[in-house]
Amino acid sequence: MSGYDWGGRGVAEAVDDVPNRKGGAMDEHKIRVLVVEDVAMVSEMIQGMLEEMGYTIAGAAFTGEEALLMIPSIRPDVVLMDIAMPGIDGIETTRRIQARYPTPVVMLTAYETTDLVNKASQVGVGAYIVKPPNPREISRAIAIARARFDDMMALRRLNERLRESEARHRAITESANDAIVASDSQGVITFWNRAATAIFGYREEEAVGQPLTILMPERFHAAHTAGLKRFVETREPRVIGSTVELVALSKSQEEFPVALSLSYWEAGGDLFFSAIIRDITERKRAEQTLRQYAADLEERNAELDAFAHTVAHDLKNPLTAITGFSTLILEAAEDGSLSPEQQLEFVHYIEQNATRMRNIIDELLLLAGVRSMKEVQTSVLDMGRIVEEVQYRLDYLVEESGAIITAPAEWPEALGYGPWVEEVWANYISNAIKYGGRPPLIELGADEMDGHIRFWVRDNGAGLSAEERDRLFAPFERLHQVRAEGHGLGLSIVRRIVEKLGGEVGVNSEIGKGSEFYFTLPRKG
């Protein structure tokens, strides 16, 4: 009897395609058979039977080893082999044949057991025949073995293509710089590439089998779960097929921005999702830098506009005065309309306005230096000497206004850059003289703070409203009080200088109670 348990695709057609003794369907393409049988009489009987049925004998072997040597050269279409032979048996011989030279195999056996059938099937036997065989059983077994072999080879090729596809897929996903993560319809991670480990910190074995929610902050869990449930039920996409920017969570519980591209597919009645995730931390940082640069540029442009307006206005006044007095002196030289005393007074006015212009230009140069200098070398300041130098510079203002300035005999030691700090004092004191009472009463001092020294200038002026205090240190802003003349660059420069030296500026003032302008610098040591 023959075994028909190993049916597969094409087996029914193969069974109907059995050659007969008169020739038939197989005559034009005779099947070449290798007979492997250790009993010579049985081998000859089977060979004769096969020839009568229209098959071609490709060869005969008496052992498994001999069959393995013959197959590469004769290339049979099918092997008809005894299971029990000296040396290696039919099971092992079949295993080696399928591993080296895949060929359909029909097994001859003296008995039939379930264990034998299972072992034979596992190594690639296509059919078996219980001795003694008859022609019809041999033909049917050969047809079944060839059909099953075709199925087996097709499956092998399919598996090979699948392995190649998986290898390509793995190579692509593992070489990708973006994280590639897949999950099922329950939101459980099923795939995790190397880049995902680099981005999130989880190893593949840690991530696969875990919910997707481990990759997002807890505040997004409910929305994710609801969105997943809605899509599974309705197939209504909201983020699928597009790229969105989200906040992700690493294994170390650090949040970071990502760009997510999501897609889905269905297989075996289940729904799966794949996500390509890119860490955009550097991009966001670059965007923030660019935004800050744009904001700084916009601020500088606005500053430049105010700068141009202020400089034009503040240079125009002394220049107009110089021009006017010069014209009067020239006319007097022709008609003698001015006395020598008057001419000397006008020259004095010209000198004062020229000094104002020089101060404006000096401050412009100072501002340019503050803006362009990247790093400042600070040192311990001799604040007493700096204040004395400023008072000497402003002596003409003190004399004109009758200002009285008091200062401490000793100053606490602070760190800064002397030439810049001198300009801060010059601005504060000159403003106190200009906007103070009549006569201006000005007090200078310092308070020691935690890590900083707070230096201040107090005056007896009219004081400032809250609105005026708020806009005081805006770029190139100045107080437009009726009595006050001068330029509006000062406080902007003060703010830039002090902030660059690691301190801050401010003002305390109330209407009718005068003002206190201060700046802080790092304490020595």
Q: For residue range 145-186, list pLDDT tens digits in order.
A: 898 888 888 888 888 887 877 777 676 666 678 999 999 999
- Contact (CB, 8 A) for 475 and 303: yes
The pLDDT assigned to 479 comes to 36
Q: How many residues does the chain have?
A: 525
pLDDT digit string (tens) for 263-308?
888 887 788 998 999 999 999 999 999 999 888 788 777 666 666 6
Q: What are phi and psi of 426, to 5 degrees?
A: -60, -40
The pLDDT assigned to 310 comes to 62
Which residue type does 261 have?
A: S
Nearest in space to 127 (alpha carbons), one of 105, 95, 112: 105
Least confident of 23-37, 204-218, 447-461: 23-37
Task: Label residue 374 by pLDDT band (50, 70, 90).
Answer: low
pTM of the model: 0.47
Task: Label residue 218 by pLDDT band (50, 70, 90).
Answer: very high
Least confident of 61-70, 177-186, 313-322, 424-433: 313-322
Nearest in space to 424 (alpha carbons), one of 364, 337, 491, 508: 491
What tokens does 113 get? 């057991």
The pLDDT assigned to 235 comes to 83
DSSP letter assigned to residue 515: E
The pLDDT assigned to 313 comes to 65
pLDDT digit string (tens) for 332-341?
888 878 888 8
CATH architecture of residue range(s) 376-522 = 2-Layer Sandwich (3.30)
pLDDT > 90? residue 442? yes
Nearest in space to 98 (alpha carbons), one of 116, 74, 79: 79
pLDDT > 70? residue 25? no
The pLDDT assigned to 50 comes to 92
Residue recorded with tokens 């059995």 = 18
pLDDT digit string (tens) for 2-13?
443 333 333 333
The pLDDT assigned to 60 comes to 95
pLDDT > 70? residue 217? yes
pLDDT, mean over the chain = 83
Q: What percent of the chain has pLDDT over 70?
A: 86
Bigger pLDDT: 3 vs 237: 237
Please tell me the distance from the alpha carbon of residue 120 to that of residue 227, in angstroms, as a whole number: 52
The pLDDT assigned to 104 comes to 93
Please tell me the distance from the alpha carbon of residue 228 to that of residue 250, in angstroms, as a whole number: 21
Q: Average of pLDDT values for 509-523?
A: 92
pLDDT > 50? residue 258? yes
Q: Average of pLDDT values for 243-261?
A: 93
The pLDDT assigned to 469 comes to 79
The pLDDT assigned to 474 comes to 62
pLDDT > 70? residue 482? no
- Pick the most confident of 256-265, 322-331, 472-481: 256-265
The pLDDT assigned to 28 comes to 34
Return the domain boundaries, the chain.
32-159, 174-283, 285-369, 376-522
Q: Average of pLDDT values for 307-326?
A: 76
pLDDT > 80? residue 515? yes
End-to-end CA distance of the chain: 105
- Contact (CB, 8 A) for 38 and 63: yes
pLDDT digit string (tens) for 101-129?
999 999 998 877 888 888 888 898 989 88
CATH architecture of residue range(s) 174-283 = 2-Layer Sandwich (3.30)
Same fold, 32-159 and 285-369: no
Bigger pLDDT: 267 vs 191: 191
Please tell me the distance from the alpha carbon of residue 446 to that of residue 43, in angstroms, as a whole number: 119
Please tell me the distance from the alpha carbon of residue 515 to that of residue 509, in angstroms, as a whole number: 4
Class of domain 32-159: alpha beta
- Contact (CB, 8 A) for 7 and 148: yes
What tokens does 314 get? 């503040």
Q: Average of pLDDT values for 132-139?
A: 88
pLDDT digit string (tens) for 379-388?
999 999 999 9
The pLDDT assigned to 250 comes to 94
Bigger pLDDT: 415 vs 174: 415
Fold topology of 285-369:
Helix Hairpins (1.10.287)
Bigger pLDDT: 473 vs 353: 353
pLDDT > 60? residue 486? no
